[in-house]
Amino acid sequence: MRFLAALSVLFYHYFASNHDAWGQGTVDTFPHLHPLAVFGSFGVQLFFVVSGFVILLSAWGRDVRAFTASRVARLFPAYWVSVALMLVLLLLVAPGEKSVTVGDAAANLTMVQRALGVHDLEAVYWTLWSELRFYVLVGILLAVGLTRERVLAFATIWPVAGAVAVQAKSNLWSTVLIGADAPLFAGGMVLFLLTRRPRSLGLWLALGLNVALAGVISGRTQALRVASSAEITIGPATYWTAIVVCFALVALVTLTPLNRISWGWLTVVGALTYPLYLIHMSWGRWMIAELNPHLPVAGTFAVVTLTMLVAAYLIHRLVERPFGPRLRRALVRDLSPGALVRPRRRPVPQPGPVTGEVPAAKAVSR
């Protein structure tokens, strides 16, 4: 499901989001495909619902230390590679496309550049800022104590508070509470709880609340993003439908017999999702601009997409798999309670004054 979300976003960025890599704007180049490709933008909302489910799943039964280490090790290795690739593109391959300073590059390596008032080197990084804030909130919940009752209360109160912050136009609290996208994460968390207690009326009501809030807040916000980047207006009925479909898809693969499917290739495909999402946009558009004069549209799209998939696999195989576990183990060790406590140096027994033997009292203590 995450891979499908990433592919839909890729489709949106190549065929709907306004750029001239095809020779002219996407609206003029693909007048019939453009309105359909716009719906690929809702892959982000689908990804957030999946994240709500998966992050709670990964946090369950862990402490804050293990959860923090697992999230850092999961996010940063591929992200650092993507930042390096963006610097190569912006400074060497296509200089002048976007101004980049040393401060911009350094801030982007932290993944919290938006908190520092620094622009993203790659437009898709904005979703990582939302994910990071969600992880912090889950970490706080872990510190308090993760129980079904507390998660249910959190997944009910948090998105309502976020919606209030959005309506009140409080930038601070909207940022802290991930106002526009909180119902998507919270709804995914409720879906995880429903896998354990599918007949709980309270959980179903909480899910309905989050779907409603997501339709009102998240759907409207995404429609504004689409209007800004793709120059097309999405009406309430359309974005409501898209939001409901996102929740329905995740519910379908988690609450029905489809959750028993365990084909091995799904794991490989899922592993490509994150690096594919990170690198596909700017590098993909550059490749489109280079290939489009020589290949038909379908051929260009196929070559570019295949190249992005191969690059994503290489990042996963050569970076994430070897370095992710090492980073996680190092963080678990460094975050352990005694990591910063210097061990006491044991006194070395001194020999006796005449015979050179260790005095009896010191020998016993030793």
pLDDT tens digit string along 8-61?
999 999 999 989 999 888 888 898 899 899 999 999 999 999 999 999 999 998
* Residue 345: per-residue pLDDT: 59
Place of tokens 């993760």: 146
Structure confidence at residue 354 as a pLDDT band (50, 70, 90)? very low
* Residue 96: per-residue pLDDT: 79
With 0-12 / 13-18 / 19 or more C-beta atoms within 10 angstroms meaning exposed / middle / buried, residue 144 is exposed
One-letter amino acid for residue 315 of the chain: I
Domain membership of residue 140 (yes or no) is yes
Contact 249, 268 (CB under 8 A): no
Rounded mean pLDDT of 158-162? 96
Range of the domain at 304: 2-335
Q: What pLDDT, in 10s, does the model give residues 182-195?
A: 999 999 999 999 99
Q: What pLDDT, in 10s, does the model give residues 255-298?
A: 999 988 888 888 889 999 999 999 999 999 999 999 999 999 99
DSSP annotation string for 143-156: HH---HHHHHHHHH
Q: Which of 122, 215, 104, 126 is nearest to 175 (CA)?
A: 126
Tokens of 10: 């890729």
DSSP state of 258: G
Domain membership of residue 357 (yes or no) is no
C-alpha 291/C-alpha 275 separation (Å) is 22
C-alpha 49/C-alpha 4 separation (Å) is 13
Domain membership of residue 22 (yes or no) is yes
Q: Which of 120, 132, 123 is nearest to 72 (CA)?
A: 132
Q: Which of 232, 275, 273, 259 is nearest to 82 (CA)?
A: 275
Domain membership of residue 365 (yes or no) is no
Number of compact structural domains in the chain: 1
Domain membership of residue 323 (yes or no) is yes
Most confident of 90-99, 238-247, 353-362: 238-247
C-alpha 215/C-alpha 186 separation (Å) is 13
Structure confidence at residue 97 as a pLDDT band (50, 70, 90)? confident
